[in-house]
Amino acid sequence: NAGVTQTPKFQVLKTGQSMTLQCAQDMNHEYMSWYRQDPGMGLRLIHYSVGAGITDQGEVPNGYNVSRSTTEDFPLRLLSAAPSQTSVYFCATKPRWEGVTEAFFGQGTRLTVV
Amino acid sequence: AQSVAQPEDQVNVAEGNPLTVKCTYSVSGNPYLFWYVQYPNRGLQFLLKYITGDNLVKGSYGFEAEFNKSQTSFHLKKPSALVSDSALYFCAVRDRYSGAGSYQLTFGKGTKLSVIP
């Protein structure tokens, strides 16, 4: 099993461009989420999903869209990239949304917006 | 709203010495608490969690954490540090009695642990 796979690993965008960060999991986990990691800020939740067809906003959702059409995939879309979105993005999953299980993280996507 | 504080940006410790990485939390009910470790250019890895019961929780790689309800703390400890323990450590909390909007974890800002040979 691959676990949580994020693509791409690195990306450079110009201001105003759009792109999609991919997250795929093969563990049949119900819960998926996106975090951004910035120096001195820790991890901040962008969006999350408790199952296919259900998404909700986290702490810092502005500028990002998500959808969850399948259990396996949870793409994060940047509609019009801004330098403030330069960050490392992590996808994380859990078996069930209400359980007290640990989260499984992908290896991250390092995004630079110039 | 729940929150987590890691008061030290960096902790330096000599190899073989005991280490402590501090974490305090604030939640409306009883908490679920976690520690994660991040090695360079990698995602976060789970170390241990506290749900209920014994206040001393043992986890991966010889780490343990002590839950102290009165001090609202959950400090990470290891009796003898290794150079390979050098990494970024995150404390996280999930409120136990929260509603539909709180499935997520709230993370601290992270503490960089450097173990000096």
Residues of B contacting chain A (CB within 8 angstroms): 6, 9, 32, 34, 36, 41-46, 49, 51, 90, 94, 101, 103-110
Instruction: State residue A96's pLDDT score.
Output: 77
Residue B113 has pLDDT above 90, yes or no: yes
pLDDT tens digit sequence for B33-91: 999 999 988 889 999 999 888 899 999 999 999 999 999 999 999 999 999 999 999 99
CA distance B22 to A29: 31
**With pLDDT > 70 as the criterion, what percentage of chain A qualifies?**
96
Q: Do B44 and A106 touch (CB under 8 A)?
A: no
**Out of A14-23, A42-51, B13-22, least confident range:** A42-51
Mean pLDDT of chain A: 93
> Which residue of chain A comes nearest to B94, CA vs CA?
A100
Contacts of B14 by beta carbon, 8 Å cutoff, 6+ apart = B81, B115, B116
**Tens-digit pLDDT profile for residues A60-113:** 999 999 999 999 999 999 999 999 999 999 999 988 766 677 889 999 999 999
Q: How many residue pairs from chains A and B have C-beta atoms closer than 8 A?
A: 52
Give, in order, the Cα–Cα distances in Å from A36 to each of A39, A46, A48, A57, B72: 10, 7, 12, 13, 26
CA A73 to chain B, closest CA, distance in angstroms equals 18
Instruction: Say whether residue A105 is in contact with chain B using an 8 A CB cutoff.
Output: yes
DSSP E strand stretches across chain A: 4-7, 10-13, 19-25, 31-38, 42-51, 54-57, 64-66, 76-78, 87-94, 104-105, 109-113
Which pLDDT value is given to residue B100? 52
Within 8 A of A43 by CB-CB distance, chain B residues are 44, 90, 107
Among partner residues A43, A97, A100, which is closest to B107 by beta-carbon distance? A43
- Are the C-beta atoms of B9 and B108 separated by less than 8 Å? no
Q: What is the pLDDT of residue B98?
A: 52
pLDDT over threshold 80, residue B21: yes
